[in-house]
Amino acid sequence: MKQPEHQPPIDLRQPELFLNRDLSLLEFNQRVLAQAQDEHNPLLERLRYLAICTTNLDEFFEIRAAGLRQQVVAGVTRPPGPDGNSPREVLQAISTKAHELVDEQYRTLNEMILPALAAEGIQVVARDQWNEDQAAWVRKHFRRDVQPVLTPMAIDPAHPFPRIVNKSLTFLISLQGKDAFGRNDGLAALNVPRSLPRVIPLPEEVATEPNSFVLLSSVIHAHVDELFPGMEVRGCYQFRVTRNSDLWVEEEEVDDLLHALEGELPRRNYGDAVRLEVADNCPVEMTEFLLDQFSLGEQDLYQVNGPVNLHRLAGLIDLVERPDLRFRSFVPGWPEGLEQGADMFAALGERDLLVHHPYQSFQPVVDLVRQAAADPNVLAIKQTLYRTGEHSSVVEALIDSAEAGKEVTAVVELRARFDERANIDLAHRLQAAGVNVVYGIVGYKTHAKMLLVVRREGRRLRRYAHLGTGNYHPGTARTYTDFGLLTSDPVLCEDVHQLFLQMTGMGKVRRLKKLLQAPFTLHKTLVEMVDAEAEAARAGRPAAIRAKMNSLTEPEIAIALYRASQAGVSIDLIVRGACCLRPGIPGVSENIRVRSIIGRFLEHHRVFHFHAGGEDRVLCSSADFMSRNFFRRVECCFPVEDPKLKKRVLREGLDLPLKDNLQSWLMQADGSYARVHPARARDRASQRELLTLLADFSDPQVEPDRRKLGRLDREVRAGERLRVKPAGRKVEGKRGASRSKHERG
């Protein structure tokens, strides 16, 4: 709504209009945990969500909390974000929220997940529940398969407290008595090797349920006294320390980034401690001892009622053969009009193709690279590689191409967080095969997802390209939602060519005709497009913005969206994770709605839609609305211009998610989220509907669902347009009516 003329303009930079990024991330993990609590999800998948919440929290402490802690130690008081909170204030708020989240995790495990598993004949048998036969089998297993691998470490003046590896399960053991060397009562530490499985199936002859398991931690705890003959074990306590895992390399001061990172990687396991987790049976004197060893305070201590690493329980999921307790399996669909095994060059010569992962197969992208490798007319292949996975068919095709004598260039981002080792190994493999390997640009991560193939056709050279919102990783293509555009558009392919020249060579910023690139044109152009919608609304013309992304934390684009909202622009944002913008503030953002979708797949694609005077500009990108994406990364944002494909992106990427009333959460002005409920409307789960529309199910039971969705298919294929409203008027029509009934959460 426009500001009344007589009121002074609102300062859109005031800290009260922004949420803290780190606290918003913890809110995201709260939504993930809610999936573990949701009885509508299959039981084993609920356990998986619980494990995901744990690993997310681990990474949060390793990177985000660790960085804030460094700032506090360095005496930094300047707020790290637009919300105005100092590093110390943010750390304190993190501690409060994270403790609540961890307590809820273990309540979910003990009161919901484990009882539900037991009801299905899946039992994690605690030490005090072992019967005589089970105890005998466990003892034998310990002596045969566990004890030979263990190395207890005494703690005394000659043996100081050992270096504890980041996130490793360790026992602190209190001992009484005198050992062979005359040493009296003391302490010992026992690290649990990561080579040992954490979840151990009990054999059928001793199991009391169809699926019975014991935890490695229980096995060791029950027999730890065997490691200290003649001594009395007075206490045995699990703990785990989380350390700063962010790598730091002064790129401008090193001659070889690859070797510098190789040297830095081992230090990741021994960075400064940021969090201590202990079992809740650990006495005060022991927790104080551990806190002192790791230079941590009480606010960094997390006492838990269960295993100190819930992520390890995920090992149970693959050991249980119960398809009925998992999400229904499916086969990714195939792009309409493209036969499997078809000539990709012939197909792309006729029209552009859009693939929507994981609902549709990643194979067309692989086929393009493989066919390029085998085609004698292909002269060159260029590709960016950020995360590829251990066994990547795309990488194998690049190697085959280089060995076949083609000119192959790979821009490998060595600094993809937690994939540095894998990418260093990848770079070595590619170089050994004769690939030209480039590590990107000093000071900027290469995050763009681009593939370019140069092929001789008659007397001319023709280019083919793939542009995506996600990585060239067949594994994540099965679990992350992403769009990929395959094209032979000469202008678009020339832009991709220019971008590769910019990354591998040197020179001024190259002028691109269709692509937007970070760090040069993307941020500026997006702000201009938002401002153009605001100007249209002020002039009384239709104006609207819809956008989908992983995170929205960059303040200038948030301020531009505030201005557009004030002008009367209808704005719908789908932000999976952190969002620093506050929706629904009178006079500032009452025309902005923010929702988050948490479902079976990780919502990962970035889609931006501007009304643009009826032109309906649709863009897909590798970049989120974050400072790092706009200013410290090489990113690519590409238009979708083909009318049919544009309609698909709008329908699948925005229309259906905005109608979701089962897996959708509405953001409130205070940064909390309220789950959307269907009320009297029919259930709408966007991921489920996209699976039904695009994928193939081997289960015949899905066919009635497919028929039931026939009406939906007709509705969305009719081409739902972006709803717009004149400036200064409230949103009307079906969406406005349904919000009041069904989106209050």
Q: Are strands 633-639 and 232-243 parallel, antiparallel or unpaired?
A: unpaired
- Annotated binding-site members for ATP: 56, 480, 576, 604
- Annotated binding-site members for Mg(2+): 387, 417
* DSSP bridge pairs for 191: 170
**pLDDT of 317 higher than 50:** yes
- CATH 3.30.870.10 correct for 344-514: yes
Residue 678: predicted pLDDT: 76
**pLDDT of 419 higher than 70:** no
Residue 119: predicted pLDDT: 96
Is the pTM above the cut of 0.85?
A: yes
Give residue 437's identity as a one-letter amino acid code.
Answer: V
CATH number for the segment(s) 17-325:
3.30.1840.10
Give residue 184's identity as a one-letter amino acid code.
Answer: N
Contact of 405 with 246, CB cutoff 8 Å: no
Residues 227-233: contacts with CB under 8 Å, at least 24 apart: 227/147, 227/150, 227/152, 227/190, 228/152, 228/173, 228/175, 228/179, 228/188, 230/177, 230/179, 230/180, 231/175, 231/176, 231/177, 231/179, 232/175, 232/176, 232/177, 233/173, 233/174, 233/175
* DSSP bridge pairs for 303: 278
Distance in angstroms (rounded) separating the CA atoms of residues 266 and 421: 10
Q: Residues 499-527: what's their mean pLDDT? A: 92
Distance in angstroms (rounded) separating the CA atoms of residues 426 and 392: 10
What would the pLDDT profile of 594-633 be if each residue is shown by its tens digit? 999 999 999 999 999 999 999 999 999 999 999 999 999 9
- For residues 219-241, b (16+ Cβ closer than 10 Å) or e, as one string? bbbbbbeebbeebebebbbbbbb
Q: Among residues 141, 357, 447, 473, which one is catalytic?
A: 447
**pLDDT of 186 higher than 60:** yes
What would the pLDDT profile of 57-66 be if each residue is shown by its tens digit? 999 999 999 9
**pLDDT of 568 higher than 80:** yes
Examine domains 17-325 and 538-742 and report if their fold is the same.
no
Higher-confidence position of 264 and 85? 85
C-alpha distances in Å from residue 72, one per residue of 87, 88, 91: 6, 6, 9
Q: Residues 335-355: what's their mean pLDDT? A: 94
Residue 264: predicted pLDDT: 52
Residue linked to tokens 């004149």? 726
- For residues 447-458, b (16+ Cβ closer than 10 Å) or e, as one string? bbbbbbbbbeee
Residue 18: predicted pLDDT: 97
Q: How confident is the model at residue 704 (pLDDT cuts 50, 70, 90)?
A: very low
- The CATH architecture to which 538-742 belongs is 2-Layer Sandwich (3.30)
Q: Kindly report the average pLDDT of the chain as a whole number.
A: 88
Q: Residues 462-481: what's their mean pLDDT? A: 93
Q: Residues 90-114: what's their mean pLDDT? A: 97
Q: Which of 198, 234, 233, 203 is nearest to 218 (CA)?
A: 198
Q: Which of 19, 21, 29, 31 is nearest to 98 (CA)?
A: 29
Domain ranges of the chain: 17-325, 344-514, 538-742
Residue 142: predicted pLDDT: 97
Residue linked to tokens 């010992």? 188
Q: Are strands 378-385 and 544-549 parallel, antiparallel or unpaired?
A: unpaired
Among the residue ranges 12-26, 351-365, 387-401, the one predicted with the least confidence is 387-401
Contact of 666 with 594, CB cutoff 8 Å: yes
Distance in angstroms (rounded) separating the CA atoms of residues 490 and 510: 17
Residue 42 DSSP SS3: coil
Q: Is 159 a catalytic residue?
A: no
Residue 102: predicted pLDDT: 97
**pLDDT of 320 higher than 70:** yes
Give residue 307's identity as a one-letter amino acid code.
Answer: P
